[in-house]
Chain A
């Protein structure tokens, strides 16, 4: 199987370390060869920095990719933003010789060179492609009978010409991975809608971002689920932190627990809710934690 290096990005290690811990625990349990990508930086965040200056975006993204090239490994991302930024940059640099040359003129100053030897992967598509739902199912020790509102997040599947993951309107690969661990992926209106965080909207026009996530949360609430499952810590922050802000500003209390897929998988592979950091979310829901304890201790 492909050898990987784990690209952490910003929000996972610096806001939701439970996702980092859960990812490492899962990779270990699944026997996937993955090392730390030491000294990596921000991907850089596509909505903001890619918008500001293309040369800067490519220089920083390529440095992160080069760190993995030097290890002879592919880059594993656990965030849709990092995936989008690094995969798109990798694609552009491999396709466009002039762009590669100008980017390497910056990298040269720190003794690095982009060669185009590594691929950029996202943990969800990696697990689907390399392991598949059937194999994953065999490794589950605690099937989780949960009703889940799945949120793909935009940059996991789009732009589709660079992803090749099937339909962007009604994809199903992530649903299959969720159902492989015994959960039910519940259909709900606007399931494929954006959480509202990306594109620099959450950082630049915060109220708009909150309006967008409030709409999505209202749809999810109507679907009567146990939790939201995402594939991206920025969507995760938007759902988890967004609920706290909505409660303060609008007085709406959703209290819907938010899990990254790594955390959900970690539970199904036998780790406790505390080991994968579910109790460290901003949304507190003791009922859900109790349910998880029952499911994972049975």
Chain B
């Protein structure tokens, strides 16, 4: 199977990583990089030379704080590029198992973090209704959300492979 062309996909999304001069302001500004193997400069480099990177765990270590993007002297939208590379990976079936679980919560409940018994009790203690005014309370709204997710093919995208 051919590897997806990351560089061109970034270009199509209006993200020009080729202007990167590898100065390293991005990785020096990265709070996650203090604790992990995430090296933002290297991610941009790999994208420039189109090296296979879709299995790199580092892609998922970015907390999307935008420090790198704010400080890049070439104005490269680095976080947007990471989003795009992550999307290519997910569409290739590469996804953390925990993220698959969160996706199934969204499909089922319309919330990534659905209500639980403990919070229902907290709500009642505060004199609030046990269910909030969200999809949790309106079944038709939840059906609409689920219809939208199917229309986008999200159910198939995150299905267990």
Contacts and interface: CB of A to CB of B under 8 A. Distances in A.
Given A41-B141, A201-B61, A204-B96, A53 B115 contact: no
A132 interface: no
Interface stretch (B18-26, B42-50, B148-156): B148-156
Interface string A142-172: 0000000000001100111000000010000
Contacts, number: 211
B149 to A, nearest CB: 7
B63 A52 contact: no
Interface stretch (A55-63, A222-230, A251-259, A290-298): A55-63
Interface in B125-139: 125-128, 132-138
B53 to A, nearest CB: 15
Interface string B40-69: 000000000000000000001111111101
Contact of B111 (A14, A50, A168): A14
Contacts of A194: 31-32, 63, 65, 67
Contacts of B113: 10-11, 14-15, 42
Contacts of A107: 148
A156 B151 CA distance: 31
A162 B67 CA distance: 15
10 contacts: A13-B119, A15-B119, A37-B133, A50-B83, A52-B95, A154-B63, A158-B67, A194-B32, A208-B35, A212-B32
Interface string A167-189: 01000000000000000000000
Nearest to A275: B126
Contact of B148 (A40, A109, A200): A109
Contacts of B60: 199-201, 204-205
A50 B112 CA distance: 13
Query: Nearest 3 pairs between A and B by C-beta?
Result: A39-B141, A13-B132, A158-B66
A36 B136 CA distance: 14
Interface stretch (A16-24, A26-34, A68-76, A122-130): A16-24
Nearest to B149: A56
B112 A48 contact: yes
Interface residues of B, number: 64
Contacts of B62: 199, 201
Interface of A: 8, 10-11, 13-15, 17-18, 20-21, 36-42, 44-56, 59-60, 63, 106-107, 109-110, 112, 154-155, 158-160, 168, 193-194, 196-201, 203-206, 208-209, 211-212, 215, 275, 277, 280
Contacts of B144: 39, 63, 110, 112
B122 A201 contact: no
Contacts of B114: 10, 14
B106 A49 contact: yes
A8 B102 contact: no
A17 B128 contact: yes
